[in-house]
Amino acid sequence: MIQENSILTKESLELLEKIDTLHPTDIAKYLKKVKKESVEEFQELLSKIPEDYLGEVLLELPENTKELAYESLSIEQLTDAIEELETDDATDIIQEIAEYDQEKADEILNSLEEEDQQDIKWLQRYEDDVAGAFMQTELFSAKLNETLKDSIKRLRKAKENDELENIHQVYIVDDNENLINAIYLEDLIIHDFSKTYKEILKTIEVSNKPISVSVNEDIDEVVKIFEQYDLSVIAVVGYKGRLLGRITSDDIIDIIEQNATDQMYQLAGVGEDYDFDDNVITTTKKRGVWLFVNLFTAMLAASVVGLFEATIESLVALAILMPVVASMGGNAGTQALATMIRQLALGKVDDENSKEIVKKEVFVAISNGLIFGVLAGIIASLWFGNFMLGVVILLAMIANLLVAGFFGSVIPIVLKKLDIDPAVGSSVVLTTLTDVVGFFAFLGIATILLIN
């Protein structure tokens, strides 16, 4: 019941009335809108969301809104919301709250049921970039000597109690919980329910042993396995193949989206922690770091131009055409850089084929340099009535695109070998190289062929 002094708008009241028909993403989107208009209404509306939906809604909120949400909700409210979530999501929220208020996170954790506490503490042990950090312990498994009938009865009870979601298959384990096989639920119905899984497995001609990953496997490798085999879920095993949990496709999709977003932001020089919903001051600070670096690299390129001041003064056309060479080199380098970073992320570049890929990029760069150098040379010759000026821009274009293609493909590979994210700073380094080489090549060749 809404109190008389409530500040909720008509629209917010309508949302609460039909909340069971809405997806958590839509509720989170509306909360984000409300927060911009009124923090007080945001806090009140959040507190009125039923516990059945609250946990999922919290997961969908933008990062810069979560802190306010966690501060606004009581320990009891957060505990009730977390109890409705699967272990991986529950662990995420506990760890996010810990970043803002460790004491509150500890109180919430201690308020959960003993079994949930153990599962969350167990998952918290894993590093952020391994499979164990993304797995959920809820799954449907059965022992070899269990009958299908008994296992289905357990599954039905678990579903009725909302203990299991998104069940795709039954994992068959031995007495030590070691993973032996798996049967999809759609295939389970064709078998005799009075038989044991051990008897069923004898009738299956092709092994159904599922693809599994180690609990300590790098999560990026897990993503590649998902993509390679078009999986919807993957088993996570520990020592000697002991079944520990599973990772579902919704988590993998989130990881793929986050990785792609991080790469784009890093290439653009805005940082992987950039959030679209950040305020003006925060956004300005985050972008300013790389702009500060870029200022000095731009000054380096400008100093190269300064070396040829006399050359530019004697032929003004050089000042007009100079940006063309640098711009073409920058674009060609960005193409090579983006392609290489993406292929590295997909695991398609290794020590065996990296040289061939670099060679390809160099030949592509030379070809484009020749094609567009001739085109630019013809335009420059006709524009300024100077044939040799066209030759200068042709040679400079080939040189700069060659450098762009080579370093655009090599820089990410070198950074990868140094265990540095290839997207971090690559664009700034490459832009500096193409600008410096472009200006130096164009003005240097012009000095030799046109001035001396």
Q: What length does the chain have?
A: 452
Give the model's pLDDT for residue 430: 84
Cα dihedral sign for 244, 248, 251, 254?
A: positive
Tell me if 125 sits within 8 A of 161, measured CB to CB.
Answer: no
Please calculate the CA angle 37-38-44 and round it to the nearest 5 degrees.
135
User: Where are the domain boundaries for CATH 3.10.580.10 in the chain?
Assistant: 141-255
Question: How many whole angstroms separate alpha carbon 42 and alpha carbon 62?
Answer: 14
Tell me if 305 sits within 8 A of 439, measured CB to CB.
Answer: yes
| Tally of CB atoms within 10 A around 366 | 17
Helical residues (DSSP H) of 86-147, grouped into ranges = 87-100, 102-111, 114-124
Up-side HSE of residue 351: CA atoms within 13 Å toward CB? 1
Tens-digit pLDDT profile for residues 171-226: 999 999 999 999 988 888 888 999 999 999 888 765 567 889 999 999 989 998 99
User: Where are the domain boundaries for CATH 1.25.60.10 in the chain?
Assistant: 10-125
CATH classification of 280-451 is 3.40.50.12280, yes or no? no
Using a 10 angstrom Cβ sphere, with 0-12 exposed, 13-18 middle and 19 or more buried, the burial of residue 187 is middle
Tell me if 248 sits within 8 A of 131, measured CB to CB.
Answer: no
Give the model's pLDDT for residue 207: 59
Question: How many whole angstroms separate alpha carbon 10 and alpha carbon 427?
Answer: 49
| Tally of CB atoms within 10 A around 3 | 9
Nearest alpha-carbon partner for 173 in 229, 237, 249, 87: 237
Give the model's pLDDT for residue 1: 43
Give the model's pLDDT for residue 15: 92
Whole-number mean pLDDT of the chain? 87
Question: How many whole angstroms separate alpha carbon 432 and alpha carbon 330?
Answer: 9
- Which architecture characterizes domain 141-255 according to CATH? Roll (3.10)
Give the model's pLDDT for residue 347: 74
Question: How many whole angstroms separate alpha carbon 255 and alpha carbon 257?
Answer: 5
Question: How many whole angstroms separate alpha carbon 206 and alpha carbon 229?
Answer: 17
Q: What share of the chain is helix, strand, coil (3-state, %, to 5)?
A: 70, 10, 25
The tokens for 96 are 């996010």
E strands within 186-284? 212-214, 233-237, 243-248
User: Where are the domain boundaries for CATH 1.10.357.20 in the chain?
Assistant: 280-451
Which parts of the chain sit beneath pLDDT 50?
Answer: 1
Q: What is the pTM of this model?
A: 0.67
Tens-digit pLDDT profile for residues 401-425: 999 999 989 988 888 888 777 766 6
Nearest alpha-carbon partner for 434 in 383, 384, 409, 399: 399
Domain 10-125 class, CATH top level: mainly alpha
| Tally of CB atoms within 10 A around 452 | 7
Question: How many whole angstroms separate alpha carbon 385 and alpha carbon 245?
Answer: 73
The tokens for 258 are 């986050």
Tell me if 412 sits within 8 A of 291, measured CB to CB.
Answer: no
Tens-digit pLDDT profile for residues 119-150: 899 899 999 889 999 999 999 999 999 999 99
Question: How many whole angstroms separate alpha carbon 186 and alpha carbon 179?
Answer: 20
Secondary structure tally for the chain: helices H, strands E: 20, 6
Question: How many whole angstroms separate alpha carbon 20 and alpha carbon 23?
Answer: 8
